[in-house]
Amino acid sequence: MKDEQNLREQICEIGRRMYARGFVAANDGNLSVRLSDDKVLTTPTGVSKGFMTPESMAIVDMSGAPLDANRPSSEIRMHLFVYRERPEVQAVVHAHPIYATGFATAGLALEECVAAEIIATLGSIPLARYGTPSTEDLAESLRPHIHRNDAFLLANHGVVALGRDLWEAYYRLERVEHYAHIILVSRQLGGEKILPRPEAEKLFALRGKYGQTGLNPGCASCEDECLGAACLNYEEKYVVGSDDHLGRIVDRIVGRLVAQGVVPPQNKM
């Protein structure tokens, strides 16, 4: 039996941290946690995450129908989609942290083997296609990634992180934002250096030692000359020399040039 009052208080504490760190502004962002197989506790709509109270939380069933007088977050559909697709997930956190959301709005995933801590924990952080907020389309945008990842960038929107509890989901959100900041700084200094596959494999092997049990799809690129096909535990296979492979190389090069101010942002048709 879950301690509902404790979960309400945890949501308030995490909301305060998100607000204090600038992960959300005004009434942005939302959090939720499973209460049971058929009930979810979620943040209320229209309330700043920095000023929530335990009694302001809303409870919904798995269809999104309210079970109390409080109005649930307008993006509860996305949370419920996650819970239906991933029964082991117990909590979902969504926010708009500046650096990670910057990458999301630029159309850039965080998927390369660069930072040791990320390789050993989250692995590739994909970019989900754009979906209109508060609609089923936003939830569906996660479908290609939901069974491979525990954190996602939402195109032109923000970040979603999942966890076995509220704190794990929140810390994954923190990790994504910290990593995005590191990548931005590295690109300002000339560009990140991708670790070779053997080094990435060593880090991946440390997951058990670090107590990492979540999903980790590896990296989308392990070496400069390889994108996808030879990558650690990465399911999508890109054949070297194919249009997919060459296109991803071009996208990465252009992304770096844009980040360095060498060329203007490219409008994708």
Range 152-181 average pLDDT: 97
* H/E segment holding residue 205: helix 197-205
Whether the per-residue pLDDT at 239 is higher than 60: the answer is no
Whether the per-residue pLDDT at 51 is higher than 70: the answer is yes
Mean pLDDT computed over every residue of the chain: 86
Please give the pLDDT value at position 267: 58
CA atoms within 13 A on the CB side of 232: 27
Please give the pLDDT value at position 264: 75
Cβ atoms 162, 83 nearer than 8 A? no
Q: Which of 46-50, 135-139, 238-242 has the lowest mean pLDDT?
A: 238-242
Q: Which of 20-29, 40-49, 123-132, 211-220 has the lowest mean pLDDT?
A: 211-220
What SS3 class is residue 78?
helix
Q: Which of 104-118, 145-159, 188-202, 255-269 has the lowest mean pLDDT?
A: 255-269
Range 27-40 average pLDDT: 97
Whether the per-residue pLDDT at 228 is higher than 80: the answer is no
Range 117-134 average pLDDT: 92
Whether the per-residue pLDDT at 172 is higher than 60: the answer is yes
What Cα–Cα distance (Å) separates residue 161 from each residue in 39, 96, 263? 20, 11, 32
- With a pLDDT cut of 70, the percent of the chain lying above it is 78
The number of residues making up the chain comes to 269
pLDDT band at 229 (very low <50, low <70, confident <90, very high): very low
Catalytic residue list: 75
Range 74-79 average pLDDT: 97
Range 245-250 average pLDDT: 55
Q: Mind listing the domains of the chain with CATH numbers?
A: 4-188 (3.40.225.10), 197-259 (no CATH)
Please give the pLDDT value at position 22: 98
Please give the pLDDT value at position 196: 82
Cβ atoms 187, 112 nearer than 8 A? no
**Best CA proximity match to 152, nearest among 191, 184, 104, 106:** 104
Range 112-138 average pLDDT: 92
Range 71-81 average pLDDT: 97
Amino acid making up residue 107:
G
How many other CB atoms are there within 10 angstroms of residue 192's CB atom? 18
- With a pLDDT cut of 90, the percent of the chain lying above it is 65
Strands 151-154 and 39-42: unpaired
Whether the per-residue pLDDT at 235 is higher than 80: the answer is no
